[in-house]
A and B are shown apart, each in its own frame.
Chain A
Amino acid sequence: MRRLALAIMVLSVGCAPAGSSSDADVAGGAEPPELFGFGSPASTERIAIWDIDVRPDGEGLPPGSGTVAEGEQVYLMQCIACHGPTGTEGPNDVLVTREPWVEWPAGRTVGGYWPYATTLYDYIVKAMPQLTPGTMTADETYAVIAYILHLNDLVPEDAVMNAETLPAVEMPYRDRFVPDDRTGGNVIR
Chain B
Amino acid sequence: MAPDSRSSISRRTWIAATSGAVAAGLIKTKADAVKLVAQEAPTPPDDPTKIPGRFTSEVGVRAPEERPRRLTRSQTLSSSSRTPLQELQGTITPADLHFERHHAGIPDIRAGGHELLVHGMVERPMVFSMADLKRYPSVSRIYFLECSGNGGGAYNRERMPVEISPQALDGLLSTSEWVGVPVKTILNEVGADPAATWILAEGADAAVMSRSVPMEKIMDDALLAYGQNGEAIRPEQGYPLRLLLPGWEGNASVKWLRRIEVTDRPTMTRDETSRYTDPLKGGLSRQFSFFMDAKSTITFPAYPYTLPDTGWWEIQGLAWTGRGRITRVDISTDGGQSWAEAELQEPILPKSTVRFRHLWNWDGRESLLISRAVDETGYVQPTVQQLWEARGERTAYHNNQQRVWKVAADGAVTFGLGDLV
Report yes or no: A134 in contact with B279, Cβ–Cβ below 8 A.
no
Q: Given the complex of chains A and B, what is the CA–CA distance between A181 and B293 in angstroms?
A: 12
Report yes or no: B279 in contact with A53, Cβ–Cβ below 8 A.
no
Contact with A along B22-55 (1 / 0, CB 8 A): 0000000000000000000000000000000000
Out of B202, B258, B273, which one reaches A177, CB within 8 Å?
A: B273
- B264 → chain A, closest Cβ, in Å? 10
Query: What residues on B are CB-neighbors of A130 within 8 Å?
Result: 77, 104, 206
Residue B72 CB within 8 A of the other chain: no
Could you say which of A68-76, A97-105, A136-144, A151-159 contacts chain B?
Answer: A97-105
Given contacts A35-B188, A42-B117, A55-B265, contact A115 B259 (CB under 8 A): no
Residue A3 CB within 8 A of the other chain: no
Residue B208 CB within 8 A of the other chain: yes
Residues of chain A from 173 to 189 with CB closer than 8 A to chain B in the complex: 176-189
Q: Given the complex of chains A and B, what is the CA–CA distance between A42 and B132 in angstroms?
A: 14
Residue B270 CB within 8 A of the other chain: yes
Residue B290 CB within 8 A of the other chain: yes
Report yes or no: A41 in contact with B126, Cβ–Cβ below 8 A.
yes
Q: Given the complex of chains A and B, what is the CA–CA distance between A184 and B293 in angstroms?
A: 7
Q: Given the complex of chains A and B, what is the CA–CA distance between A188 and B283 in angstroms?
A: 19
Report yes or no: A176 in contact with B207, Cβ–Cβ below 8 A.
no
Query: What residues on A are CB-neighbors of B189 within 8 Å?
Result: 35-39
Which B residue sits closest to A127, measured CB to CB?
B207
Query: What residues on A are CB-neighbors of B126 within 8 Å?
Result: 39-42
Contact with B along A22-49 (1 / 0, CB 8 A): 0000000000100111111110001100
The residue in B119, B206, B268 that gathers the most chain A C-beta atoms within 10 A of its C-beta is: B268
Which B residue sits closest to A93, measured CB to CB?
B274
Out of B200, B208, B210, B268, which one reaches A56, CB within 8 Å?
A: B268
Residue A89 CB within 8 A of the other chain: no
Given contacts A51-B261, A181-B286, contact A104 B128 (CB under 8 A): no
Given contacts A103-B281, A178-B284, A186-B380, contact A115 B268 (CB under 8 A): yes
Out of A32, A39, A180, A185, which one reaches B379, CB within 8 Å?
A: A185
Q: Given the complex of chains A and B, what is the CA–CA distance between A38 and B124 in angstroms?
A: 12
Q: Is the interface of A mostly helix, strand, loop or mixed?
A: loop
- B166 → chain A, closest Cβ, in Å? 23
Report yes or no: A47 in contact with B119, Cβ–Cβ below 8 A.
yes
Residue B345 CB within 8 A of the other chain: no
Report yes or no: A39 in contact with B132, Cβ–Cβ below 8 A.
yes
Report yes or no: B279 in contact with A184, Cβ–Cβ below 8 A.
no
Nearest first, the 6 A-B pairs at minimum CB distance are A184-B377, A126-B208, A123-B270, A42-B125, A127-B207, A39-B128
The residue in A54, A104, A179, A185 that gathers the most chain B C-beta atoms within 10 A of its C-beta is: A104
Query: What residues on A are CB-neighbors of B269 within 8 Å?
Result: 53, 119, 122-123
Residues of chain A from 83 to 128 with CB closer than 8 A to chain B in the complex: 101-105, 108, 110, 113-116, 118-119, 122-123, 126-127
Report yes or no: B286 in contact with A119, Cβ–Cβ below 8 A.
no
Query: What residues on B are CB-neighbors of A50 within 8 Å?
Result: 117, 202, 258-259
Residue A64 CB within 8 A of the other chain: no
Out of A114, A119, A179, which one reaches B287, CB within 8 Å?
A: A179
Given contacts A42-B119, A127-B103, contact A119 B268 (CB under 8 A): yes
Residue B394 CB within 8 A of the other chain: yes
Residue A133 CB within 8 A of the other chain: yes
Could you say which of B153-161, B335-343, B382-390, B407-415 contacts chain A?
Answer: B382-390
Query: What residues on B are CB-neighbors of A123 within 8 Å?
Result: 269-270
Report yes or no: A114 in contact with B274, Cβ–Cβ below 8 A.
yes
Residue B308 CB within 8 A of the other chain: no
Which B residue sits closest to A55, measured CB to CB?
B267
